[in-house]
Chain A
């Protein structure tokens, strides 16, 4: 529900039976049956036990429906329900994104990062599906960018604009269809030095709102200066269009800053008080944030703390708390969450857990139908 535009179950079935015929024809018979029987489909990056990378499509019951190979490690997926196309982004500092057609109408294609740029792993489509926005690094300047791609012209890169910060990670399209929310994690890295963090003493994260038509900065929100090492990285939208965000703390391990906050355009940014034991269980690291607007909750996961916490978006109170080894991937599902782990485990909101031990699920999972 990241964009609030996931197509309904009924739409999806109609879609699959009509436009999706070619896609289904390309699947093994049992996979096609699983796809048709599935109430929902989720996409997540994985590495398998042979060390191969890809994107997996999982049914709501945790069945593996389809896999799309990737040349290297992926991170998150963007989805356009109008065309059924999804884009899997390379994990930072990767330089590829793979477009695959959920409907099977066209062959997969690869988007290469522009010279001097790399992807940060997240992207989002415009509401009409015509444009794709990706978080990127201007490597030499260590400046955050949004790369703009024309989905109607082979995903040609047609522009870029500044994120007014460093290390932009996840981005969201706001309900107005025009504003992009971008989490500037604030950590400088350079591909020459792997994933080494180059500026921990001076990092300056922010959460910004950008006008996707003009590229201009609408608002920038920063936390208190004492929290400058609290990297804002993941976000989702609740039913009222408020942005919930999760952080990763780069300061001393004994510090216990709050890791979850909320911001709304036009008003301030605020961190949420959480019970000490739950906060401690998150180990200063939130790996994924997903809201369930229908249920009025938001969930955050910590693979470092093996913990998943669910918060009521109206009261800010904790309403769910789960110990789950290496949990990270989260997506809204019915009145709860579909969660995946680094042990290959799949935990649907209802029904039985499943585990595909041949797979290690990456950080994120997205409902794509």
Chain B
């Protein structure tokens, strides 16, 4: 779903090369909204991701040096923190995170045929020396170098042994943490210095190869929210939750081993709320249309409230409890109404329409 400007142009196809320039009017405040979203939300969110990656690296190193239940608990808790930090920025699926397969190197998911799991288990079984050196790990399959692999190391079968004996498994976890740390640091730098795609987003213009005007830049911001809601609904929740309880597949849930499924969903929804706040879209709307942003905020708060209290519970238990399952189902429903509020009503106020034919890969 790509948002686009309404452009007035006409020419005869049979004629030789002739491009009719776009005649669109800039949505007022477009560039400022994007700038504010970057400074007020995206940069701090990547900075937080980088700092939690640093904490995680320290915690896993400590566990490897001195295995103990306490250090294992601290490493697992640091894993929860980085999941939370990542969830709050992962819906930004463009810019520097698209370089070098970083998105998939941070989180390869869904792993429907357990390809990654098998590779991780093979590394552990074979004690693959290349997997404990961050630089060589970075060259391996994306599925063995990110959060999914680390979750198995810290929470999967055999992980309790880390409390008493570090060994290869811990060294592999340390390498994954260091690898995540270096990716996170690169992202933090790219956004804070405005390099490449990150910088281009903030400076739309006719010569900009990605954003030819403020409308396209603002469209990227709204797309992030619209695609994000779709991802939360279609990929994350629908991936494990059936229409009825009989269709539930709890082991298809992201982070079911670490019981971070709900926390990740809340982080995702919080990022949409955060982008809305930071970009201050209300200020760019006429007074009698500002309720649209208020409506989006209200819905996001409702979803968050429904999910609060479910964090840290095994996803299978949540699904098995009709009341808890209903709360998750409600959050899923809210993402649909939010798609309409943001994708149609709010976008429409800025003169942007949701593209129909250009959805991914058709």
Contact = CB atoms under 8 A, between A and B. Distances in A.
Given A194-B230, A339-B13, A342-B355, 4 more contacts: A201-B108, A306-B7, A318-B17, A326-B358
Interface of B: 2, 4-7, 9-22, 94-95, 98-99, 101, 103-105, 108, 110, 112-113, 141-142, 196-197, 200, 209-210, 230-231, 233-235, 238-239, 249, 252, 353, 355-362
Given A187-B361, A194-B230, A248-B361, A320 B356 contact: no
Contacts of A185: 361
A270 B354 CA distance: 34
Nearest to B98: A252
Interface in A345-369: 347, 349-350, 353, 360-363
Contact of A198 (B17, B94, B110, B355): B110
A355 B219 CA distance: 24
B7 A323 contact: yes
Given A193-B234, A323-B20, A353 B13 contact: no
A304 B355 contact: yes
A68 B5 CA distance: 30
Given A325-B4, A336-B13, A193 B356 contact: no
Nearest to A334: B14
A278 to B, nearest CB: 8
B265 to A, nearest CB: 15
A231 B357 contact: no
Given A201-B101, A326-B356, A361-B357, A196 B231 contact: yes
Given A194-B238, A254-B209, A280-B209, A310 B362 contact: no
Interface in A247-266: 248, 251-254, 256
A66 B15 CA distance: 31
B17 A121 contact: no
A234 B183 CA distance: 35
B235 A363 contact: no
B143 to A, nearest CB: 9
Nearest to A233: B361
Contacts of B5: 325
A190 B249 CA distance: 14
A322 interface: yes
Contacts of A322: 9, 11, 13, 18-20
A319 interface: yes
A152 to B, nearest CB: 30
Nearest to B9: A323
Most buried by A among B21, B113, B196: B113
- 10 smallest A-B Cβ distances: which pairs? A194-B234, A328-B357, A342-B356, A303-B358, A303-B357, A201-B101, A336-B13, A196-B235, A323-B9, A304-B358
Interface of B is mostly: loop
A193 B13 contact: no
Contacts of A253: 94-95, 98, 197, 210
13 contacts: A185-B361, A196-B234, A196-B235, A197-B360, A202-B142, A302-B358, A320-B13, A322-B19, A336-B12, A342-B357, A342-B358, A349-B13, A349-B14
Contacts of A361: 356-357
Interface of A: 47, 75, 91-92, 121, 142, 167, 169, 185, 187, 190, 192-198, 200-202, 231, 233, 248, 251-254, 256, 277, 280-281, 285, 287, 299, 302-304, 306, 308, 310, 318-326, 328-329, 335-337, 339, 342-343, 347, 349-350, 353, 360-363
B235 A193 contact: yes
Nearest to B209: A280
Given A198-B112, A304-B2, A254 B355 contact: no
Nearest to B8: A325
Contacts of A337: 13
B14 A326 contact: no
Contacts of B104: 200-201
B4 A308 contact: no
Contacts of B358: 285, 287, 302-304, 326, 328, 342
Nearest to B17: A321
Contacts of B361: 92, 167, 185, 187, 195, 197, 231, 233, 248
Given A201-B101, A253-B98, A362-B357, A91 B4 contact: no
Nearest to A281: B19
A246 B2 CA distance: 19
Contacts of A323: 7, 9, 11, 19-22
Contacts of A324: 9
A74 to B, nearest CB: 11
B13 A310 contact: yes
Given A195-B359, A254-B196, A320 B16 contact: yes
A360 B10 contact: no
A360 B4 CA distance: 14
B190 to A, nearest CB: 12
A256 B230 CA distance: 27
A253 B211 CA distance: 11
B235 A194 contact: yes
Contacts of A277: 19
B110 A193 contact: yes
A161 to B, nearest CB: 22
Given A319-B16, A325-B7, A190 B209 contact: no
B260 to A, nearest CB: 18
A194 B235 CA distance: 6
A287 to B, nearest CB: 6
Contacts of A202: 141-142
Contacts of A328: 357-358
